[in-house]
Structure 1
Amino acid sequence: MNILILFLPAICWGIMPLIVGKIKGGNVYNQIIGTVTGALVLGLGTLAVAHPPMSWETFWVAFMAGACWVIGQAGQFISYAKIGVSETMPISTGAQLIGVSLIGVLIFGEWASTSAKIWGFLGIACLIIGVLATSKTDEGTSEGSKSNQTATLTILLLTSLGYIASSTIPKSIQANGYSIIVGQTVGMFVAGLIYVLVTKQGSALKEAISYKFALPGMAWAFGALFYNLSMKANGVNMAFVISQLSVVISTLGGMLFLHERKSKQGMIYTAIGLVLIVLGAVLTTIF
């Protein structure tokens, strides 16, 4: 059972962008409203079933993490439409791993030993090279022109700061994982509402297409729930590293199931980038 739980976060997070890609119609505002609604349903379900201990400090810290998640997810949704899932996910995942690792070292004092620092920074080097490999322009395919790719990657990398904040903010407290999910999904929902209202896209709240995206939102929330269970059953490092295999599922799935085109050279660079990103994830967490 522990082995099954170990791989479930990667499966859930890996198929989430594939489900989004299969849903026809809608825009980033519909996608945000749908996903945060689906996540909130599971978050409230967790509250009702598990009755996790909840303090105001835990709730508000988790709430802020969820709000930051919306920033990162909006950037991903924009990138799916512009350059495809198979290019978006390796770059987004690599950027998150680099940012989370550096914050862990600079703020939380991780990699205390000299050997840990050596392996850790070697892992970051692998991540950077992997991101550069997967972001190599593949003219005439799903990524489009160089100018389109450059603009999209800029948005993706900047909004990935939201994901990085979402992953690191909960480290500031000691809390039950179920409690964090509840506060996080409420924060996601509120931030999603603010996002569509501030951008004057409130009509997305009334459009049926929005709620078709509740399924990928629930896939994300299930992944987060299984991740918390996996951390307890398998240890933090092992759970985190295996969860990052989601990038392999989403990238290969984008090409196989969403039929995103790449040249032979583009596929080679993508394969090299994926290997380096997974290797970098291992080096920055295990050693």
Structure 2
Amino acid sequence: MNIVLMLLPAIAWGILPLAVARVNGKPINQIFGTAVGTLIVSIVVFMVMRPTISIASFVLAALAGGFWIIGQLGQYNAYRSIGVSQTMPISTGLQLIGTAFIGVLIFGEWASVNAKVFGIIGIVLLIIGVFLTAKKDKGEQKNTQTGTLIMLVLTTIGFLVYNSIPRAMTSSGLAIFLPESVGMVVAVLLYIIFTRQPQVLRDKTSWQSLMAGFIFSIAAITYILSVRDNGVNSAFVVSQLSVVLSTIGGMIFLHEKKSRHELTLTIIGLVLIVSGAIITTIF
């Protein structure tokens, strides 16, 4: 059962980009459906598990969920412009690099000399991996790719805040799942209001994207359970295999084309990203 719990988050998070990309809606439709779908599942989980959480922790968790929307909206936009198979390794690598730096600067991780040495090695591998997966053959949509990469770097800040806030809270796990999803929905609704897109609430593709929220919820819940049963290091490292599944899935199921040279660089980049994740987490 422990092995199943370790694999389920990787499988669900790997499938999520493929499910989202199959819905022929705009990123705003996709993010709305994802947020609402997550809220539905979180309400059911809350009614069954009845976890306790303070008001302060509820607010912080909701804030984390709001920042998640920023990061996920960046990903969804990138799926449309450069494809899932290029977006996911770049986005995952950026998140790992940022999370590692936050862990060192704010939470005092990598205290020993060995941890610092291996941590730096892992960061270097991640940076090289991101560079290789981002590299395109000459003359292929350079302007579009550059703009998308800048957007991914900026919106990754949302993911970093989302991952960092729970680490500073006393409440964790399933207790913060509901307030995070509430924050997600509130953030999406605010985005719809400020961008004046009320039609999103009526669009068929918005409600078709509920499935993405269900898939995300499966990944989030099983990851929480995996951390409990397997430890945070093992659970986190195995969950990063999702980037391999989503990248390969983008090429096979979404028919995203890469030249032989780009495919070679992508495979090498994936190996380096997963290796970097293992080194920065375990050592």
- TM-score, normalised by the number of residues in structure 1: 0.97
> Alignment partner of 2:193: what SS?
helix
Q: Is the 8 A contact 1:66 1:183 kept in 2?
A: yes
> Alignment partner of 1:261: what SS?
coil
Aligned match of 2:220: 224
CA distance in 2, matches of 1:173, 1:283: 26
How far did residue 174 of structure 1 move?
2.2
How far did residue 21 of structure 1 move?
1.5
Aligned match of 1:126: 125
Aligned match of 1:245: 241
> Alignment partner of 2:254: what SS?
coil
Residue 107 of structure 2 aligns with an amino acid whose one-letter code is F
How far did residue 138 of structure 1 move?
3.4
CA distance in 2, matches of 1:52, 1:121: 38
Q: Is the 8 A contact 1:11 1:246 kept in 2?
A: yes
CA distance in 1, matches of 2:256, 2:10: 21
How far did residue 139 of structure 1 move?
5.2
Residue 222 of structure 1 aligns with an amino acid whose one-letter code is I
> Alignment partner of 2:209: what SS?
helix
Aligned match of 2:260: 264
> Alignment partner of 1:200: what SS?
coil
Residue 69 of structure 1 aligns with an amino acid whose one-letter code is W
Residue 174 of structure 2 aligns with an amino acid whose one-letter code is Y
Instruction: Report Cα offsets for 1:33-65 as digits up to 9, x if no partner.
Output: 111011111111111111111111221111111
Aligned match of 2:56: 57
Report the RMSD for the aligned CA atoms in angstroms. Answer: 1.0
Aligned match of 1:105: 104
Q: Is the 8 A contact 2:85 2:251 kept in 1?
A: yes
Output aligned runs, 1:109-258, within 5 Å.
Answer: 109-138=108-137, 144-258=140-254
Output aligned runs, 1:11-30, within 5 Å.
Answer: 11-23=11-23, 25-30=24-29
**How many correspondences in the alignment?**
283
Q: Is the 8 A contact 1:52 1:176 kept in 2?
A: no
Output aligned runs, 1:6-85, within 5 Å.
Answer: 6-23=6-23, 25-85=24-84
How far did residue 137 of structure 1 move?
1.6
How far did residue 214 of structure 1 move?
0.8
- TM-score, normalised by the number of residues in structure 2: 0.98
Residue 129 of structure 1 aligns with an amino acid whose one-letter code is I
How far did residue 73 of structure 1 move?
0.7
- Runs in 1 of length 4+ with deviation above 6 angstroms? none
> Alignment partner of 1:45: what SS?
helix
Q: Is the 8 A contact 1:53 1:176 kept in 2?
A: no
CA distance in 2, matches of 1:218, 1:61: 23
Instruction: Report Cα offsets for 1:105-127 as digits up to 9, x if no partner.
Output: 00000111110111011100000
CA distance in 1, matches of 2:138, 2:253: 21
